[in-house]
């Protein structure tokens, strides 16, 4: 046996081919999905915390509806967009920390030894957590329905809201993936969470931009892309079909996604190119 | 008594040293209150125009008191994270072995939390003043506000001690902070309690944090109101949390640290 | 003191094994691998022995295409590591220094994922996973999450994952570090079986002398990024000395008689305690003759100790330092 092996390769005896990209993405996406499911904290916290904040803030800030020019009679209608944004943050952190853990434990090296395409890793990781974010978004919508929030855009607005929410989660998952691939550490990814959280606050999450009295705050909110993401979702609830708001929402999410995934792909190439 | 003090000072020095020399620990406890002050006082200042909102010093001062008390509470929470970390990495065992008076360990953590918070309180106060906060209250009133903050900080650290010493893992972090977060945010954060409605109004009426916030706001306004009630609530909470922390220490001792 | 001693026969012709010429890897502040040449014949177990920080793991990372070399060239399985990386990866399996497992997946899920990514046909993934689980003794734990595995179980799963696609060449980077003796022995047996029965080429890095001694057909000793000695364990040890036997007479007065009986074997010396030491030119095969000679001389013994050169002695001869306990903190 040894002599034979010394002169010719042992037969593989297996049907080994080049796995297609779709199959790789599916395998890695399935793994990412089940990993999130097996970490209850990654499911429960993103479901509960945004809803808790929504309940507290919409009750506590209901008096804001009395400000002249406030665009809704019920603050809950106004505030409903915010949990979708916060859910996207958790998607970002989940995607990032799971990918960072793969780097820290050396699991990424294991994957690199297979014919796996680098794109499959990114797509699979993101795909898995996106499914979780869809579940989150549906939960928020169920809560909204239960408390009587009515969509000015009607039933047709719900799938559009879901689409925008998924696009936002996709974009922020890209940010999480970039942070993981750039820094290779779960702690670094977690360290960015407060910064992302701040971005949500320094936006039109609590008041419409035109009602923000403090000049510097209004300027920050105007330049903050999160404002347009929130306003895009919010428009479907309180205005109906606002083409400009929707265009800005989808456009901003798309732009963030392009930048995030370009950066993530570059970081992935750099990381895969070294040990 | 000497042994208790020496343990207290030792633990306090080490915790404070770690906190003040490590930006990753110090900066969040400074940045978050500043951020909340900017977001709430800056972003929500239009709330001050709501009819029946009649807090004389203005919305910045209204939010300053909340951020002041919140920073005191979260100062204790952040120290609790450090305690949980000590248990996770085994350092707490070293303390338990070395300390002749183990109650001094809790006291030491509390002193460190207090020192951290005093810095935060100073930074937040300066920021609010720079932001144009109006303070009709006098020195005595402001001393009363400081007392409310100090007592809140002590309650929070005792709460955090109890949890950290029972669970002895960094995973205890969310359990430490969530109740504190809920108690604070189910109080009149954005508007006075009379402007709340619905279920949050009902909850805020019975929330012990509400008299503390209202007393603080009244002190800043120079018209002290319900301060004695707030101090009594805080004193009672300290007694309860003191027992909670002490029994937490016992739990850690039984488990071997 | 780094004399590159090649004791083995010419190993430049090793079709489909491993061939390394002048391989270098530099990092910002350190040169981890400073130009190594080595060859591993197909079907051979090659032990790469050295202390922590010697450059073993860096070499493995380069040969498995996970780290590009700074200069030099190498072929693995006949394919160039720099230009034909995907072909190299298709013929190798690797169990690296970290077990590199996902604590949230079960053992079976790991194997099925690996099988999918390696391109195994759908029909074969489950059966291959079951086969490997049985082979490494993890069938019962297959559907438990890896988080609950012991260190030995993780290493076994690691090995199974490296074998999913039946590679020709297997890289094992310190596979038994941290394992208990029983787990270590079990892993050695499996590695030896892979080479013996499956004809697999094994490149094994280790800091344990016994592991290299027991498992490897040939050993390369690396220190501070360069290979200081290479050959079979027996050849290397023979270069630095012969076995010797130390005789402790029960009656110190019989020391002279013991010495006279042992003079015939080789250089004999006696220490102040009355112990007599003689080197054995023909190795430990002469031990029986030594005992016979002492018996014929009526020398009663309190103790008889055989001292044989170890690979540590080889390392000491080449570098002036002992191998065990000589490594820097941190990985290599």
Residue-wise DSSP of B175-212:
HHHHHHHHHHHTSSSSS-GGG--HHHHHHHHH-THHHH
A3 pLDDT higher than 50: no
Q: How confident is the model at residue B256 (pLDDT cuts 50, 70, 90)?
A: low
* Disruptive mutation site among B28, B29, B190, B203 for chain A (greatest number of A CBs within 10 Å): B190
Indicate if C234 and C248 belong to the same structural domain: no
Please state, for a pLDDT cut of 70, what percent of chain C lies above it. 93
CB-CB neighbors (< 8 A) of B201 in chain A = 59
State the chains in contact with B (3 or more Cβ–Cβ pairs under 8 Å): A
Q: Do the domain assignments include residue C250?
A: yes
Average pLDDT of chain A? Answer: 88
* pLDDT at C114 exceeding the cut of 80: yes
Is A10–C86 a contact, with Cβ atoms under 8 angstroms apart? no
- Report CB contact under 8 Å: A107, C117: no
> Per-residue pLDDT tens for B48-61?
888 888 898 999 99
pLDDT over 90 for what percent of chain C? 59
Residues of A in contact with C120 (CB under 8 A): 14-16
Q: Do C277 and C154 belong together in one domain?
A: no
Does C95 fall in a domain?
Answer: yes
Q: Is residue B51 in some structural domain?
A: no
pLDDT band of A17, cuts 50, 70, 90:
low
Question: Could you tell me which chain B residue has the CA closest to the CA of A214?
Answer: B42
Rounded to the nearest 10 degrees, what angle do helices A157-183 and A225-238 cross at? 160
Asked whether residue B77 is domain-assigned, the answer is: yes
The answer to whether A61 contacts B190, with C-beta atoms less than 8 Å apart, is yes
For residue A2, what pLDDT is reported?
Answer: 33
Contacts of B32 in chain A (CB under 8 A): 194
Cβ–Cβ of A2/C196 closer than 8 Å? Answer: yes
Pairing of strands C226-231, C5-6: parallel
Residue scoring higher pLDDT (A29 or C282): A29
**Contacts (Cβ under 8 Å, ≥6 apart) of C223:** C2, C50, C51, C54, C315, C318, C319, C321
Q: Which of A44, A49, A58, A60 to mutate: most B Cβ within 10 Å?
A: A60
User: How many whole angstroms separate alpha carbon A43 and alpha carbon A39?
Assistant: 7
Task: Name the nearest CA neighbour of C114 among C151, C68, C166.
Answer: C166
Domain boundary among C238, C256, C272: C238
Question: Which chain B residues touch A67 with a CB distance below 8 Å?
Answer: 46-47, 49-50
Residue C45 and residue C67 in contact, taking contact as beta carbons nearer than 8 Å: no
One DSSP character per residue, A43-65 reads HHHHHHHHHHHHHHHHHHTGGGG
Query: Alpha helix (H) ranges present in chain A?
Result: 2-7, 21-37, 40-60, 75-79, 81-105, 107-112, 118-147, 157-183, 186-201, 215-223, 225-238, 243-272
Q: Do A114 and C118 touch (CB under 8 A)?
A: yes
Q: Number of structural domains, chain C? A: 2
List CB contacts (< 8 A) between C198 and chain A: 1, 5, 10
Interface of A with C in 66-125 (CB under 8 A): 102, 105-107, 109-116
With a cut of 70, say whether residue A275 has pLDDT above it: no
CB distance A207–B35 less than 8 Å?
Answer: no
Q: How large is the C-alpha radius of gyration of chain B?
A: 19
Minimum-distance CB partner of A67 among B49, B185, B195: B49
What count of other Cβ atoms lies within 10 Å of the Cβ of residue C104? 18
- pLDDT over threshold 90, residue A239: yes
- How many whole angstroms separate alpha carbon C306 and alpha carbon C318? 23
CATH number assigned to the domain comprising residue C89: 3.40.50.300
Residue C287 forms part of a structural domain: yes
Question: How many alpha carbons lie under 13 Å from residue C249 in its C-beta half-sphere?
Answer: 25
pLDDT band for position C325 (50/70/90)? Answer: low
Dist CA C57 CA B94 (whole Å): 36
Do C222 and C250 reside in the same domain of the chain?
no
- Helix, strand, coil percentages in chain B from 3-state DSSP, rounded to 5: 80, 0, 20
Given a contact cutoff of 8 angstroms between Cβ atoms, the answer to whether B68 and B121 are in contact is: yes
Cβ distance C170 to C140 under 8 Å?
A: no
Measured between beta carbons, the chain C residues lying within 8 angstroms of A27 are 113, 116-117
Contacts A64 to B, Cβ<8 Å = 44, 46-47, 50, 190
Q: How far apart are CA C165 and CA A12, in angstroms?
A: 7
- Give yes or no: residues C29 and C79 share one domain: yes
Contacts of A110 in chain C (CB under 8 A): 96, 100, 114, 161
- CA-based nearest distance A21→chain C, Å: 10
Q: What is the count of structural domains for chain B?
A: 1
Residue B248 lies in a domain: yes
A 10 A CB-CB count for B42 gives 22
Same domain assignment for residues C227 and C256: no
> Is residue C215 situated within a structural domain?
yes
Asked if A260 contacts A171 with a C-beta cutoff of 8 angstroms, the reply is yes
pLDDT of residue B87: 81
Q: Do the domain assignments include residue C48?
A: yes
Residue A12 at interface with chain C, using a CB cutoff of 8 Å: yes
For the cut 70, the answer to whether the pLDDT of residue C332 exceeds it is: no
In a domain? residue B101: yes
Taking an 8 Å cut-off on Cβ atoms, the answer to whether A61 and B44 are in contact is yes
Question: How far is C-alpha A17 from the geometric centre of its chain's CA atoms?
Answer: 34
Whether the complex's predicted ipTM is more than 0.85 is answered with: no
Q: What are phi and psi for residue C305, nearest 5 degrees?
A: -115, 130
Chains A and B touch (3+ CB pairs under 8 A): yes
Whether residue B50 lies inside any domain: the answer is no
| Residue range A182-201: mean pLDDT, rounded | 85
The band of C5, judged by pLDDT with boundaries at 50, 70 and 90, is very low
Residue C275 sits in the same domain as residue C188 = no
Torsion angle of the four alpha carbons A201, A204, A206, A212, in this order, in degrees rounded to the nearest 10? 110
CA nearest neighbour of C257 among C287, C302, C294: C294
3-state secondary structure of B56: coil
Does the distance separating the beta carbons of B195 and A212 come in below 8 Å? no
Q: Using H for helix, E for strand and C for coil, what is the string for C51-98?
A: CCCCCHHHHHHHHCCCCCCCEEEEEECCEECCCCHHHHHHHEEEECCC
Q: Quick one: C268 and C225 in the same domain? A: no
Q: Dump pLDDT digits (tens) for C163-179.
A: 999 999 999 999 998 88
Cα separation of the two ends of chain A: 35
Residues C91 and C22 in one domain: yes
pLDDT digits (tens, 9 = 90+) for B76-109: 988 888 888 888 777 787 777 777 678 888 889 9
Label the pairing between strands C268-270 and C276-279.
antiparallel
Q: Report which of A231, A55, A234 is spatially closest to residue A157, judged by C-alpha positions.
A: A234
> CB–CB of C15 and A112 under 8 A?
no
Q: Which of B40, B42, B128, B204 to mutate to test the interface with A (most CBs of A within 10 A)?
A: B42
What are the pLDDT digits (tens) for A145-186?
999 999 999 999 999 999 999 999 999 999 999 999 999 988
Do C221 and C161 lie in one domain? The reply is yes
Touch between chain A and chain C (3+ CB pairs, < 8 Å)? yes
The CA distance from C128 to C163, in Å, is 10
Nearest chain A residue (CA) to C61:
A275
CA–CA separation, B148 and B159 (whole Å) = 17
Residue partners of A32: CB distance under 8 A and separation at least 6: A95, A98, A124, A125, A126, A127, A128, A129
Structural domain of residue B74, as residue ranges?
2-45+56-254
**Which chain A residues contact residue C197 at CB under 8 A?**
1
Mean pLDDT of C68-95: 94
Contact A61/B47, CB-based, under 8 Å? yes
Contact B197 A62 (CB under 8 A): yes
Q: What is the pLDDT of residue B257?
A: 53
C-alpha distance from B125 to closest chain A C-alpha (Å):
19
Average pLDDT over residues C19-41: 94
Q: In 3D, which of B247, B248, B209, B202 has the Cα closest to residue B230? A: B209
Alpha helical stretches, state H, chain C = 56-63, 85-91, 107-117, 122-135, 151-163, 181-198, 209-215, 233-240, 255-262, 287-296, 311-319
Q: How far apart are CA C188 and CA C212, in angstroms?
A: 10
Q: Select from A83, A49, A89, A246 the least CA-distant residue to A171.
A: A89
Minimal Cβ distance to C116: which of A5, A18, A23: A23
* Residues of A whose CB is below 8 A from C42: 5-7
DSSP labels, C272-311: TTS-EEEE-TTGGGGHHHHHHHHHHTT--EEEEEEE---H
Residues of chain C found within 8 Å of residue A116, distances taken between Cβ atoms: 117
Query: Do residue C169 and residue C296 come from a single domain?
Result: no
Collapsed DSSP state (helix, strand, coil) of residue C34: strand
Q: Is the CA virtual torsion C131, C133, C136, C138 positive or negative?
A: negative
* Alpha-carbon separation of residue A118 from A113, A125, C27, C95, C144 (angstroms): 11, 11, 24, 21, 29
Q: Report CA Rg, chain A.
A: 22
φ, ψ of residue C18 to 5 degrees: the values are -125, 135
Residue B218 in any domain: the answer is: yes
What's the CA gap between A189 and A183, in Å, rounded?
8
- Domain hosting C28: range is 5-101+149-238
| 3-state SS class at C215 | helix
Distance CA A61, CA A242 (A): 25
Q: Does B190 contact A60 at a Cβ distance shorter than 8 Å?
A: yes
Q: Is there a contact between C328 and C52 (Cβ–Cβ < 8 Å)?
A: yes
Alpha carbon distance A234, A79 (integer Å): 8
* pLDDT value of residue A165: 96
C293 shares its domain with C249: yes
Per-residue pLDDT at B204: 94
The answer as to whether B194 is a domain residue is: yes
Is the pLDDT reported for residue C269 higher than 90? no
φ, ψ at C52 (rounded to 5°): -60, 135
3-state DSSP call for residue C106?
A: strand
Q: C210, C238, C266 — which closes off a domain? A: C238
Q: Which of C218, C168, C172 is nearest to C198 (CA)?
A: C168
**Cα gap C257→C265, rounded to integer Å:** 14
Quick one: C68 and C81 in the same domain? yes
Q: Is residue C224 a part of any domain in this protein?
A: yes
CATH number at residue C303: 3.30.70.260
How far off is chain A from C15, nearest CA to CA, in Å?
7
For B41, the closest chain A residue by CA position comes to A214
A41 contacts on B by Cβ (under 8 Å)? 174
Give the chain C residue whose CA is nearest to the CA of A20: C119
Residues paired with residue C246 on neighbouring β-strands, in sequence order: C277, C305
Contact (Cβ atoms closer than 8 angstroms) between residue A64 and residue B50:
yes
Residue C126: pLDDT over 90: yes
Q: Are A160 and A153 in contact (CB under 8 A)?
A: yes
Determine the residue among A5, A36, A272 to mutate to test chain C binding: the one whose Cβ has the most chain C Cβ atoms within 10 Å: A5
CB contact under 8 A, A105 and C105: no
């Amino acid at each position: 046996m040894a002599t034979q092996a010394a002169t010719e390769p042992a037969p593989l005896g297996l049907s080994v081919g080049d796995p297609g990209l779709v199959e790789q993405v599916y395998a890695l996406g399935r793994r990412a999905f089940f990993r999130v499911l097996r970490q209850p904290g990654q499911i429960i916290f993103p479901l509960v915390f945004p809803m808790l904040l929504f309940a507290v803030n919409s009750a506590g800030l209901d008096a804001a509806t009395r400000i002249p020019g406030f665009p809704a009679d019920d603050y809950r209608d106004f505030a409903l967009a915010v949990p979708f944004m916060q859910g996207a943050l958790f998607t970002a952190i989940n995607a990032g920390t799971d990918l960072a853990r793969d780097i820290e434990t050396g699991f990424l090296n294991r994957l690199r030894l297979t014919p796996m395409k680098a794109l499959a890793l990114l797509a699979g990781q993101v795909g898995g957590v996106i499914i979780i974010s869809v579940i989150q978004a549906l939960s928020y919508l169920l809560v909204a329905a239960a408390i009587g929030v009515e969509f000015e855009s009607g039933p047709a607005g719900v799938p559009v809201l879901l689409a925008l929410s998924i696009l936002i989660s996709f974009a922020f998952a890209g940010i999480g993936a970039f942070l993981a691939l750039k820094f290779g550490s779960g702690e670094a990814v977690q360290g960015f969470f407060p910064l992302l959280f701040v971005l949500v606050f320094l936006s039109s999450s609590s008041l419409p931009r035109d009602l923000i009295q403090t000049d510097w705050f209004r300027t920050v909110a105007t330049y903050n892309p999160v404002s347009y993401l929130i306003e895009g979702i919010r428009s479907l609830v309180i205005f109906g079909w606002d083409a400009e708001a929707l265009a800005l929402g989808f456009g901003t999410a798309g732009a963030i996604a392009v930048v995030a995934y370009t950066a993530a792909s570059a970081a992935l190439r750099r990381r895969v190119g070294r040990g | 008594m000497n042994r208790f003090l020496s343990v207290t000072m030792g633990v306090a020095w080490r915790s404070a040293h770690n906190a003040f020399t490590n930006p990753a620990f110090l900066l969040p406890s400074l940045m978050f209150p500043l951020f909340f002050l900017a977001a709430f006082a800056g972003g929500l200042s239009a709330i001050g125009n709501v009819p029946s909102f009649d807090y004389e010093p203005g919305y910045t001062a209204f939010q300053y008191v909340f951020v002041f008390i919140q920073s005191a509470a979260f100062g204790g929470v952040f120290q609790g994270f450090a305690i949980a970390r000590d248990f996770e990495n085994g350092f707490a065992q070293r303390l338990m072995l070395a300390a002749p008076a183990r109650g001094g360990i809790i006291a030491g953590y509390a002193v460190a939390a207090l020192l951290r918070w005093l810095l935060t309180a100073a930074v937040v106060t300066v920021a609010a003043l720079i932001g144009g906060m109006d303070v009709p209250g006098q020195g005595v009133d402001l001393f009363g506000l400081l007392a409310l903050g100090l007592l809140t900080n002590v309650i929070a650290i005792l709460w955090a001690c109890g949890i950290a010493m029972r669970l002895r893992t960094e995973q205890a972090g969310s359990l430490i902070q969530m109740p504190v977060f809920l108690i604070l945010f189910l109080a009149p954060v954005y508007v006075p309690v009379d402007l709340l409605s619905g279920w949050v109004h009902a909850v805020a009426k019975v929330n012990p944090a509400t008299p503390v916030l209202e007393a603080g706001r009244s002190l800043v306004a120079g018209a002290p109101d319900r301060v004695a009630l707030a101090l009594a609530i805080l004193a009672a909470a300290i007694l309860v949390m003191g027992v909670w922390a002490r029994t937490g220490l016992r739990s850690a001792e039984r488990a071997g640290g | 003191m780094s004399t590159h001693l090649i004791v083995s026969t010419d190993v430049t012709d090793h079709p489909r094994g491993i061939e390394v010429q002048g391989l270098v890897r530099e990092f910002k502040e350190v040169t981890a691998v400073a130009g190594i040449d080595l060859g591993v014949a197909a079907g051979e177990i090659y032990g790469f022995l050295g202390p922590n920080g010697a450059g073993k793991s860096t070499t493995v990372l380069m040969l498995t295409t996970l780290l590009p070399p700074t200069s030099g060239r190498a072929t693995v399985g006949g394919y160039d590591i720099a230009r034909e990386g995907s072909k190299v990866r298709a013929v190798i399996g690797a169990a690296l220094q970290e077990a590199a497992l996902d604590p949230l997946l079960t053992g079976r899920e790991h194997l099925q994922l690996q099988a999918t990514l390696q391109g195994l046909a759908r029909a074969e993934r489950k059966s291959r996973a079951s086969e490997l689980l049985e082979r490494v003794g993890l069938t019962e734990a297959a559907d438990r999450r890896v988080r609950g595995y012991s260190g030995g179980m993780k290493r076994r799963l690691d090995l199974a994952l490296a074998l999913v696609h039946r590679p020709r060449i297997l890289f094992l980077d310190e596979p038994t570090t941290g394992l208990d003796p029983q787990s270590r022995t079990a892993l050695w047996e499996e590695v030896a079986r892979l080479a013996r029965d499956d004809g697999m080429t094994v490149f094994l890095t280790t800091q344990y002398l016994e592991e290299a001694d027991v498992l490897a057909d040939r050993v390369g000793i690396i220190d501070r990024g360069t290979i200081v000695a290479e050959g079979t364990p027996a050849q290397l040890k023979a270069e630095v000395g012969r076995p010797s036997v130390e005789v402790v007479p029960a009656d110190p007065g019989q020391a002279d008689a013991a010495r006279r009986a042992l003079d015939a074997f080789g250089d004999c010396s006696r220490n102040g305690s009355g112990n007599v030491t003689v080197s054995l030119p023909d190795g430990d095969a002469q031990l029986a003759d030594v005992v016979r000679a002492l018996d014929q001389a009526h020398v009663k013994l309190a103790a008889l100790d055989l001292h044989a050169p170890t690979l540590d002695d080889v390392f000491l001869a080449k570098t002036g330092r002992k191998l065990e306990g000589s490594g820097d903190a941190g990985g290599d």
